[in-house]
Amino acid sequence: MEIYRRLFGRIAPVLILWIGCTAPRAEDSAGRMDQVVQSYVTGKQFMGSVLVARDGQMLLDKGYGYANLEWQIPDSPEAKFRLGSITKQFTAASILLLEERGKLKTEDPVKKYMPDAPPAWDKITIYNLLTHTSGIPSFTGFPDYHSSEATPTTPEKLVARFRDKPLEFQPGEKWNYSNSGYVLLGYLIEKISGKSYKDFVEENIFKPLGMNDSGYDSNTAIILHRAYGYSPGTNGPEKAGYIDMSIPFSAGALYSTTHDLLRWEEGLFGGKLLSAVSLKKMTTPFKENYACGLMVRSVNGHKEIDHGGGIEGFNTELAYYPDEKLTVVVLGNLNGGAPGDIAAKLAAVVHGEKVVLPSERKEVTVPSAVLAKYVGTYELAPTFSMVITLEGNQLMEQATNQPKFPIFAESETEFFLKVVDARIEFFKNDKGEVTHLVLHQGGRDTKGVKK
């Protein structure tokens, strides 16, 4: 379960199947981290490759499950995975490189480089696109989106899908994750640089940083060590649905390995790619903790810069903790919300925090009269709520547009799910009335106020 659903890494509130201490010794943390990942593998929630490195020291570097189930080829650090929306930080960096070279300014209106843009876009800047504050609706949410996933397209045709749609809000006023905005950035990169997005990223990022196992994915090219994508099925994993890679484009079409993504983090935050001014711009949040292709926030007192991705057959997470120079990479080739949860737990282990796995939680019995007090609707976001009901003596939760799941008591106020790794904690006021809940998941806490 993850409160952030990703389509190319689309972040939207949704629930899906998918303590300070002294830092432990490296050998101890490695064993616990492996145990953390294995718990998800055993639960059939994860296959993929995982890397954890701190200040140049590799703490975990391992593959789990299979890159190809039919041939029983194991996942490994050499396996290449589709990244989904981890792609967006490469697109953002490309824009900032063009700005450093005097080719554009992020405060420029899009219309400066696209004279035929619709009048509704007059006030949209490149920075609005970078920070998901343009108001342009995400084409991956359109009703006809899934019917077009198998059809090859061009950047021009992609832009045509959303260019005449009404804005969701005035530019800069609000935040709403938009794959359309990042497709438009890729279109601008090609128009301004005179190169294809694929060539620009390869020549200006991958080659300079030695990322030789990264690239723009292809449905037809032979790519050595490519991991195949799978989705959960009734009788086990199934081959994931097809998507032509021209569709995710600069919003989600890149592939890479765990080692190449470590090179990326070391290069980006080590000053090998962008100037200090550009890096600060890229990592300074504008709205909703979102900067330029990156989320920036504090998790349990640690600054975290991260982004996840999700695309047919793959879910991914890349997180960097600058104060510790800690990189966590989780690349999965089985759809589900596990990589984000896994990455959060691996970071917690390195930080010396207590990590409790679902299999280690102990269920207790709580009287029905107590459970009944929690029944109600809790708003976690303007368009996302969690409904708590009581069926017999079983407390149930159901998030907006999601299935209903049972939740199990660890105490009178703390509950957990067994289908995914998440906890729900209820809070009361001085009168004993339940006022809100907090969803604990992936190292993040989300408050839901009772209506």
**Secondary structure of residue 293 in the 3-state scheme:** coil
Q: Is the pLDDT of residue 47 over 90?
A: yes
Least confident of 11-25, 56-70, 191-205: 11-25
Q: Which residue from 381, 341, 1 is spatially nearest to 176, judged by alpha carbons? A: 381
pLDDT band at 306 (very low <50, low <70, confident <90, very high): very high
Block residue for tokens 């006021």: 429
Instruction: Rounding to the nearest 10 degrees, give the CA dihedral for residues 265, 216, 189, 243.
Output: -120
- The answer to whether the beta carbons of residues 100 and 275 sit under 8 Å apart is yes
pLDDT digits (tens, 9 = 90+) for 156-199: 999 999 999 999 999 999 999 999 999 999 999 999 999 999 99
Res 298: pLDDT: 94
Model pLDDT, residue 27 = 60
Task: Locate all alpha helices (DSSP H) within 78-207, ordered by sequence.
Answer: 87-100, 126-130, 155-162, 179-193, 197-201
Q: What does the mean pLDDT of the chain come to?
A: 93
How far apart (Å, rounded) are the C-alpha atoms in residues 267 and 128?
Answer: 26
What confidence tier does 4 reach under pLDDT thresholds 50, 70, 90? very low
Residues of CATH 3.40.710.10 domain(s) within the chain? 1-357
Asked if 225 and 78 touch (Cβ cutoff 8 Å), the reply is: yes
Residues 229-251: tens digit of each pLDDT? 999 999 999 999 999 999 999 99
Residue 444 has what pLDDT? 77
Largest separation between any pair of C-alpha atoms in the chain: 68
**Region(s) of the chain under CATH 2.40.128.50:** 361-450
pLDDT at 428 over 50: yes
At 349, list the tokens: 């282990």
pLDDT digits 0-9 by tens, 404-417: 999 999 999 999 99
Mean pLDDT across 137-154: 95
Asked whether residue 25 carries a pLDDT value surpassing 90, the answer given is no
Q: For residue 373, is pLDDT > 80?
A: yes
* Higher pLDDT pick, 419 / 32: 32
Percent of the chain topping pLDDT 90:
87
| Reported confidence tier of residue 382, pLDDT bands at 50, 70, 90 | confident
Burial (0-12, 13-18, 19+ Cβ within 10 Å), 436: middle
Closest CA to 300 of 20, 5, 2, 15: 20
Give me the sheet containing 81-82, strands edge to edge.
81-82, 254-256, 215-216
Rg of the Cα atoms in the chain: 22
Contact 313, 331 (CB under 8 A): no
Residue 393, pLDDT score: 94
Residue 97 and residue 260 in contact, taking contact as beta carbons nearer than 8 Å? no
Instruction: Spell out the long-range contacts of 369-376 with Cβ–Cβ below 8 A and sequence spacing 24 or more.
Output: 370/412, 371/395, 371/409, 373/434, 374/426, 374/434, 374/437, 376/434, 376/450, 376/451
Query: Is the pLDDT score of 2 beyond 60?
Result: no
Domain 361-450 top-level CATH class: mainly beta
Residue 6 clears pLDDT 80, i.e. is over it? no
Assess contact for 282 and 274: CB atoms under 8 A: yes
pLDDT score recorded for residue 19: 28
Q: d(Cα 145, Cα 383) in Å, to the nearest integer?
A: 21
Q: Which tops the pLDDT comparison, 422 or 66?
A: 66
Residue spans of alpha helices (H) in 273-430:
276-282, 338-350, 368-372
Give the list of residues 6+ apart from residue 181 with CB closer than 8 angstroms, or none: 128, 129, 130, 132, 134, 136, 138
Instruction: Name the pLDDT band for 8 (thresholds 50, 70, 90).
Output: low
* pLDDT in the model for residue 441: 83
Q: Give the integer Cα–Cα distance in Å for 185 and 158.
A: 12
Query: What's the residue count for the chain?
Result: 451
- pLDDT bin (cut points 50, 70, 90) of residue 22 is very low
Residue pLDDT, tens place only, 93-129? 999 999 999 999 999 999 999 999 999 999 999 999 9
Q: With 60 as the cut, is the pLDDT of residue 438 above it?
A: yes
Fold of 1-357: Beta-lactamase (3.40.710)
Measured distance CA(403)–CA(390) in Å, rounded:
15
pTM: 0.88
CA–CA distance from 220 to each of 82, 155, 223, 244 (Å)?
14, 19, 9, 10
Amino acid making up residue 448: G
**CA–CA distance from 432 to each of 379, 394, 428 (Å)?**
20, 21, 5
Cα torsion through 146, 85, 139, 399, rounded to 10:
70
Percent of all residues in the chain with a pLDDT value above 70, rounded to a whole number: 93
Structural tokens at position 351: 């930080």
Q: Is 75 exposed, middle or buried (0-12, 13-18, 19+ CB in 10 A)?
A: buried
Cα 362 to Cα 49: distance, rounded to the nearest angstrom: 30
pLDDT at residue 24, as a whole number: 55
